[in-house]
Homo-oligomer: A and B are copies of this chain.
Amino acid sequence: MSRVMIKNLGSFIGKKVKVSGWLYSRTSKGKLIFLLIRDGTALVQAIVSRQMLSEEQFNLADKLTQESSLELIGVVREDKRAVGGYEIEVESLRVFQICENYPISPKKHGVEFLLSLQHLWIRSQHISSVLKIRAEIISAARNFLNSRGFYQVDTPILTPFACEGTSTLFEVEYFGEPAYLAQSGQLYNEATCMALGKVYTFGPTFRAEKSRTRRHLMEFWMLEPEMAFVEQEENMVIQEELIYYIVSEVLRNCSNELAILKRDISLLKKVQTPFPRLTYSQVVEILREKGFDIKWGDDFGAPHETAISSLYEKPVFITHYPASIKAFYMQPDFNNPELALCADLIASEGYGEIIGGSQRIHDYDLLKKKITEHHLPIEAYQWYLDLRKYGSVPHSGFGLGLERTVCWICGLSHIRETIAFPRMLDKIYP
């Protein structure tokens, strides 16, 4: 008999199935024992009765502790009152291991304690639900891009460039030469989009920043699409559609997990396109009216983003930042070169920036000038300049921070819960 995953039990009503998993909790009531079983996909209640099982098997069931591993065979019944809507009448039971002294009980633990047991904490309903939503977000993003003709291209993690200073770079010795862990695959994909048209990379990126905030990890995943022949307006429309698609796929496929996380899905349902747009200058104006001490030319921080986010029930684009506070490769506004043709997307509910994107400079002379103005070494960028020499075209792209997106969609209070083994300033084990 082949195994059925708990989330698929609805297709087996009245049938005998085999389920394998771990005990989540047990209630014994004389002749009946109720086992709540988890198998990674969902929970189901299994009913063990003296009538159906041998004395020995019944007594074994009565000894099961939290996280004991087991396999059972039984008939699936519909029961609207039960967790998940089904229960299993157990006919036979096999125990792999009685778990002794499992350190994480269903009662509340401090987060430091849980972080020290990360390899077990991931089994909790809370963290495992987040991980499943994360997997759905990844899958939705890929399906969206693949269906629109994007090709995945994996850009290197080990890179030779430390052009903008080494202060936030992790350095690696590469056979006698210094190399650095990539903070982005964008520059590489500006090359590959000239080969393949529309591309994306989706891999780990690294930032060695000595910060302890709820929004930063040292190692995080980034989705970075890059598109030849696409200008900033189209770039923003694609971002809106991507975010809308991701949120709607999570709502469609992860209702169980969102319920476990007690996520207010009415707020997620409001994430409809188009998203509001404010220029940087408008935002500065609004912030000053709200009493923030900020002047034109300053960059925004978390409190500013939160204030702007609170104005809308959707993510909001902030466009046209001063070119001086943005990266050297951003296309200046054709009407006002002080401004960059760029946008940051600020998530709703105060979750901060989840996307940064822009049109890229495609003019050789202008890019060369910017590289010089930013005091970057021209020889390290010669290959990048080549892209503007040989068949240059307008192109645009953006980077979506996966963990911040997971944090927002799951409604979490800290980014450390968005990945199975977070890398933080003082945490790298295991």
Contacts and interface: CB of A to CB of B under 8 A. Distances in A.
Copies in the complex: 2
Given A20-B228, A177-B428, A387-B119, A423 B195 contact: no
A69 interface: yes
A204 interface: yes
Interface stretch (A9-17, A81-89, A134-142): A134-142
For A5, A127, A152, A154, which residue has the most chain B Cβ atoms within 10 angstroms?
A: A154
Interface in A196-250: 196-198, 203-204, 206, 208, 210, 218-219, 221, 228-229
A159 B204 CA distance: 13
B158 A196 contact: no
Nearest to A122: B195
Contact of A158 (B8, B192, B203, B423): B423
Contacts of A120: 191, 386, 390
Contacts of A102: 390-391
A337 B138 CA distance: 41
Contact of A159 (B134, B390, B428): B428
Interface in A32-85: 39-41, 67-69, 71
A69 B392 contact: yes
Given A20-B393, A228-B20, A428-B174, A41 B149 contact: yes
Given A40-B195, A122-B195, A152-B139, A170 B160 contact: no
A191 B40 contact: no
A128 B153 CA distance: 10
B428 A154 contact: no
A287 interface: no
A181 B149 CA distance: 32
Interface size class of A (residues with CB under 8 A): 35 or more
Given A97-B393, A229-B20, A197 B157 contact: no
Interface string A382-416: 01101101111110000000000000000000000
Contact of A135 (B99, B153, B394): B153
Interface string A175-186: 101010100000
A172 B204 CA distance: 15
Interface of A: 3, 5, 7-8, 20-23, 39-41, 67-69, 71, 96-97, 99-100, 102-103, 119-120, 122-123, 127-128, 131-132, 134-135, 138-139, 142, 146, 149, 151-161, 170-175, 177, 179, 181, 188, 191-198, 203-204, 206, 208, 210, 218-219, 221, 228-229, 362, 383-384, 386-387, 389-394, 419-421, 423, 425-426, 428-430
Nearest to A230: B3
A420 B219 contact: no
Contact of A156 (B132, B386, B421): B421
B391 A158 contact: no
A68 B392 CA distance: 8
A131 B22 CA distance: 42
The 3 A-B residue pairs with the shortest CB-CB distance in the complex, in nearest-first order: A40-B197, A67-B391, A40-B196
5 contacts: A67-B390, A103-B390, A119-B383, A119-B387, A154-B204
Contacts of A420: 153-155, 188, 191-192
A174 B179 contact: no
B22 A391 contact: yes
Nearest to A426: B175
Contacts of A157: 157, 181, 204, 206, 219
